[in-house]
Amino acid sequence: MGQSISEFLAWIEFRLGAELDAAGRAIPYTSWSAQLQASERLWMVLEGTHVITIMLFAGTILFVDLRLLGLVWRKVPVSQVADNVLPITIGGFAIMAITGVLLFLAQPLEYFHSLIFRFKILFLLAAAINIFWFHYKVQRRRAEWDVQPLPPVSARLSASLSIALWVLVIATGRYAAYGWVSCDNIDGLAAQAAQCATYDATLAQYDAGAETPLMAAL
Amino acid sequence: MSDSVKDWLPGAAAQIEALGQTPLIAAINHSVWAFSVIQLGHLLSIAVLGGAVLVLNLRLLGLALPTVAPEEVERSTRPFMLASVAGTIVTGFLMTLATTQSSLTSTAFLIKMIALLAAIGLSVSVAWSVRRPAGHARQAAKVLGVLATLVWLVAAGLFASASNLGPGVLLVAVAGFALFAAFLPSRRRAYGIGISLILLAGFGSTFLLAPTAAGDVLTEQVSIGTVLIGLAFAALLWASEMRHGKPLAVPPGRIGALGSTLAWVTVAAAGRWIGFS
Q: Tell whether the model's pLDDT for residue A176 goes beyond 70.
A: yes
B121-176 pLDDT per residue, tens: 999 999 998 887 777 888 888 899 999 999 998 998 888 777 677 678 778 877 77
User: How far is C-alpha A118 from the geometric centre of its chain's CA atoms?
Assistant: 9
With residue A151 as reference, give the H or E element that holds it.
none
Q: Which three-class secondary structure state does DSSP give residue B102?
A: helix
Distance separating alpha carbons of residues B79 and A166, to the nearest angstrom? 21
Of the candidates A48, A54, A167, which has its C-beta nearest B269's C-beta? A48
Of the candidates B55, B58, B218, which has its C-beta nearest A42's C-beta? B218
pLDDT at residue A108, as a whole number: 95
B236 versus B188: which is more confidently predicted? B188
User: Taking CB atoms and an 8 Å limit, are B272 and A41 in contact across chains?
Assistant: no
Question: What's the gap in Å between the CA of B71 and the closest CA on chain A?
Answer: 11
Q: Report whether A93 contacts A127 (CB < 8 A).
A: no
The amino acid at residue B233 is F
Question: What's the gap in Å between the CA of B117 and the closest CA on chain A?
Answer: 19
Query: In chain B, which residue's Cα lies nearest the Cα of A61?
Result: B51
A126-146 pLDDT per residue, tens: 999 999 999 999 989 899 999
User: How far is C-alpha A128 from the geometric centre of its chain's CA atoms?
Assistant: 11
Q: Interhelix angle for A153-178 vs A40-68, to 10°?
A: 160
User: Taking CB atoms and an 8 Å limit, are B46 and A54 in contact across chains?
Assistant: yes
A100 versus B236: which is more confidently predicted? A100
Query: In chain B, which residue's Cα lies nearest the Cα of A63?
Result: B51
How many beta-carbon contacts under 8 Å exist across A and B? Answer: 126
Which class for A181: exposed (0-12), middle (13-18), buried (19 or more C-beta within 10 A)? middle
Question: What's the gap in Å between the CA of B60 and the closest CA on chain A?
Answer: 13
Distance separating alpha carbons of residues A81 and A94, to the nearest angstrom? 20
User: Taking CB atoms and an 8 Å limit, are B54 and A84 in contact across chains?
Assistant: no
Distance separating alpha carbons of residues A137 and A124, to the nearest angstrom? 19
Of the candidates A52, A84, A171, which has its C-beta nearest B272's C-beta? A52
| Single pTM value for the model | 0.86
The amino acid at residue A146 is D
pLDDT at residue B28, as a whole number: 87
Number of domains comprising chain B:
1
Query: In chain B, which residue's Cα lies nearest the Cα of A51?
Result: B272
B182-222 pLDDT per residue, tens: 666 556 666 667 767 766 666 665 555 555 555 555 555 56
pLDDT at residue B219, as a whole number: 59
Instruction: Please give the backbone phi and psi of residue B241, each rounded to the nearest 5 degrees, phi first.
Output: -65, -40
> Which residue range is the domain that position B80 belongs to?
5-276
User: Taking CB atoms and an 8 Å limit, are B54 and A73 in contact across chains?
Assistant: no
pLDDT, mean of residues A95-108: 93
Candidates A32, A36, A54, A55, partner chain B, best to mutate (most B CBs within 10 A): A55
Q: Report whether A113 contacts A196 (CB < 8 A).
A: yes
Number of domains comprising chain A:
1
- Residues in chain A with CB shorter than 8 Å from the CB of B40 are 170-171, 174-175
> Which residue range is the domain that position A100 belongs to?
2-217
